[in-house]
Amino acid sequence: MSLEAIQRPLPGPRRMVADFGGVYFANAIVAFVFAASGPVAIILSVGARGGLSESDISSWIFGAFFINSLISLLFCWLYRQPLVFFWTIPGAVLVGPALGHLSFAEVVGAFYVTGLLMGILSFTGWVRRAMQSVPMPIVMGMVAGVFLRFGLDLVYAMRDDFWLAVPMTLAFIALTAVPRVARFVPPVIGALVVGAILIVVMGTFESPGEGILAMVHPNLYRIEWSWRAMIELVVPLAITVLVVQNGQGIAVLGATGHKPPVNAITLACGAGSMATALVGSVSTCLTGPVNAIISASGARERQYIAGILVALFGLGFGLFSPVFTRLLLATPKAFIATLAGLAMLRVLQTAFTVSFRDRFALGALVTFLVTVADVAIFNIGAPFWGLLFGFAVSWLLEREDFRSLRAQG
């Protein structure tokens, strides 16, 4: 299966200047601030839970933003579409529990193999068929089980730091209730601003001291090959990228009239995942929310400009990742927990809705329960077993749902 042809003629500097406009600049700012707020809080939460150092987290953020922004620049230019790549949030969350019994070197090895697998799949033509044939309710049952801890951490944050977590949550709810305002001030960003003001007022910010203004010195990680890491992480990571994240991003762009190059996107995710693994970042994916924001308005043929702008912002953010890492780590734990929990609410809601709406509901329930139980078998984490047991239960007891899925395909 050949890769999709690039769109010629390629836009030169004059064409890109002519295509620039205020609406694309504004959309790019909103999209980037979204990516740099809640999703970054999730990386910090996962890293802290997994025992990663500040240097590890800074390096992870560098790879997630800088390297993926380079890929985004290239693809927006080649295909003249808003094709922004960042990192798989469900995949990042999967890493947290794995770090409880795997070394980071083993996890990084799994990142490499996941990237290699996706690169191979990009040339086979199987990706599109796999996206259509994998029972999404079972996959989202695993996602719901993994993300549940972020919802619980939000509740715990309200209990432990009421005067910080509750006002942030109220700001999120207020902005969500007014869609016109939320379009310009996303609820997660509103919660971040309210939280930052309260931290300053209450004096709970722990100054990181001197040397905060520093450029990144990314770590290069030694790889440790581990079969249990491969079994536990590779398949779930590949599924979250190809089915959950890329599926969402491709659907969002397709709904606005674009024709995303599925095979080329898969190749980019594979190559990007191997490149970002060098500095300890989780697998690359086509982002759904960011591409949704930058393709929501303006002329379709000019929306690629917003993608290029987001990528340029991402390059700067990645270069100065130590600054943002130190600032966020100096805030109270409840701030990060609240921000990450609020960022996950809609995703968690969608995961539950897709899992238990109609077909494969029993398999999705088994997947969810096994994942939430977080019991490792043969030192292999629960998300893998959740997928395996949920699929097996559906195969045995929900055969009609499989027949319906094949008929649709």
Tens of pLDDT along 370-393?
A: 989 988 777 667 888 888 899 999
Q: Does 9 sit behind a cis peptide bond, omega within 30 degrees of 0 on the bond before it?
A: yes
Query: What is the DSSP code (8-state) at residue 380?
Result: B
Q: Tell me, yes or no, whether 372 lies in a domain.
A: no
**Is 393 part of any domain?**
no
| pLDDT confidence of residue 84 | 96
What pLDDT is attached to residue 1? 53
- Residues 325-352, mean pLDDT to the nearest whole number: 83
Domain holding 310, by residue range, is 13-345
CA distance 202 to 28: 33
The answer to whether residue 257 scores a pLDDT higher than 80 is yes
| DSSP per residue, 206-273 | ----S--S-------PPP---HHHIIIIIHHHHHIIIIIIHHHHHHHHHHTT----HHHHHHHHHHHH
Choose from 239-243, 341-345, 367-371 the range with maximum mean pLDDT.
Answer: 367-371
Q: How much is the pLDDT for 167?
A: 97
pTM, two decimals, is 0.79
Q: Is 57 inside a domain boundary?
A: yes
Q: Would residue 375 count as lying in a domain?
A: no
Residue 206 has pLDDT above 80, yes or no: no
pLDDT at 208: 65
383 lies in some domain = no
pLDDT band for 173, please (50, 70, 90 cuts).
very high
Contact present, 286 and 5 (Cβ < 8 Å): no
Whether 313 has a pLDDT exceeding 70, the answer reads yes
Average pLDDT taken over every residue of the chain: 87
**Dist CA 55 CA 393 (whole Å):** 43
In the predicted structure, residue 269 carries a pLDDT above the cut 60: yes
**What local confidence, expressed as pLDDT, does residue 242 receive?**
86
Q: pLDDT digits over 28-81, tens only? A: 887 887 888 778 888 988 888 888 998 999 999 999 999 999 999 999 999 999
What pLDDT was estimated at residue 209?
62
Is the residue at 3 inside a domain? no
Asked if 123 and 291 count as a contact pair (C-beta separation under 8 A), the reply is: no
The pLDDT tens digits of the residues spanning 104-143 come to 999 999 999 999 999 888 877 677 666 666 788 888 888 7
- Asked whether the beta carbons of 182 and 176 are under 8 A apart, the reply is yes
pLDDT at 213 over 70: no
Give the per-residue pLDDT at 128: 66
In a domain, 78, yes or no: yes
pLDDT band at 329 (very low <50, low <70, confident <90, very high): confident
Determine, yes or no, domain membership for 39. Answer: yes
Query: What is the model's pLDDT at position 362?
Result: 95
Per-residue confidence (pLDDT) for residue 132, from 0 to 100? 65
Per-residue confidence (pLDDT) for residue 256, from 0 to 100? 82
Number of folded domains that form the chain: 1
